[in-house]
Amino acid sequence: MADEILVPGSTANLGGGFDTLGVAVQLYLRARIVDVRHDGGARLEVVSSRPAVRGTNVVERAFAALARQEHGKPATEAVPTVFAEIDSDIPVAAGLGSSAAATVAGLRIFERVTAPVADSTLLAAATALEGHADNAAPALFGGMTSVVESDDAEPRALRWTWPDDLRFVIATPLEGLSTKKARAALPPTVTRKDAVFNLQRVLSLVHALQNGDDDRLREALQDRWHQPARVALVPHLGAVLAIDDPDVLGAYLSGAGPSVAVLARRNFAHVERLLQATCEAAGSPVTVRTLAAHQDSNVLRAA
């Protein structure tokens, strides 16, 4: 019997919540375990992958990292050799959490073939591999999460309510943008005025989402930390942020980009056409998707 593990993609930052906020979305990486050999090999081999992976396979790397970390514990003394197929609908280098989903898939496969691993351990392992926790947390736990990281303790994730009928309409350009390049564009410091601006907006965003106050979402999604610095790398971003339409509740850069997202509760076909036209008028051919939040932790199915 084969097991299939589903891990959601994610959209992060949500305007001012830089490296803090993320929401799991219904766009999935599927990892199908096709064989388990109880030989103590303690490794994962991806036998096929869509899309094809060049260089180090992140799923394999995550499995190996957790195997090293958990080595010697009673439940994991004899970690098997695992063979898996990977099929992902999450576009790569698009600001939709493809790397975090692959990392979480490797961790979940390890957990599936050994024993349950504490949530805190999974999040710490994913964060160590990813470099930050804001995409890893929603991929692990679903829904909307905020993260707390420190130098002397494991990262923590907090769950928040994301309204079931509030959708993400997301435009993804044909060309990707590496997180490394997007981070290199950021200034080393921010002014106190801009720091206060973002803190006010991100708290307003969380409050608006918890209380169904849609009228405040547009202002609450504003940002002065990362989006202005990335406009030069994402030519359609400025135009999308300026969209003024009654069906568009707010807009932001998804993760490090180049995907951009708008929030809507109705008339999704109209919002999709508007977003596509806005991006293409700015010279960016895009694929547009309307996605709901993925509210649960990962899904394990017997196939």
Superfamily of domain 167-291: GHMP kinase, C-terminal domain (3.30.70.890)
pLDDT value of residue 75: 65
Question: Is the confidence at residue 74, as pLDDT, over 70?
Answer: no
Question: Is the confidence at residue 300, as pLDDT, over 70?
Answer: no
Question: Is the confidence at residue 299, as pLDDT, over 80?
Answer: no
CATH 3.30.70.890 residue ranges of the chain are 167-291
pLDDT value of residue 302: 46
Q: Which residue is it, tokens 């990362």? A: 226
pLDDT tens-place string over residues 135-184? 999 999 999 999 999 888 899 999 999 999 999 999 999 999 998 899 99
Confidence bin at 298 (pLDDT 50/70/90):
low
CA-based nearest residue to 173, from 255, 230, 89, 94: 94
Give CA torsion, residues 105, 108, 113, 115, to 10 deg: 170
CA-based nearest residue to 46, from 11, 79, 83: 83
CATH 3.30.230.10 residue ranges of the chain are 3-161
The CA distance from 51 to 58, in Å, is 13
Question: Is the confidence at residue 261, as pLDDT, over 90?
Answer: yes
pLDDT value of residue 76: 62
In this prediction, residues 264-290 reach a mean pLDDT of 98
Q: Which fold has domain 3-161?
A: Ribosomal Protein S5; domain 2 (3.30.230)
Confidence bin at 134 (pLDDT 50/70/90):
very high
pLDDT value of residue 1: 43
Confidence bin at 2 (pLDDT 50/70/90):
low
pLDDT tens-place string over residues 20-52? 999 999 999 999 999 999 999 999 999 999 988
pLDDT tens-place string over residues 77-87? 689 999 999 99
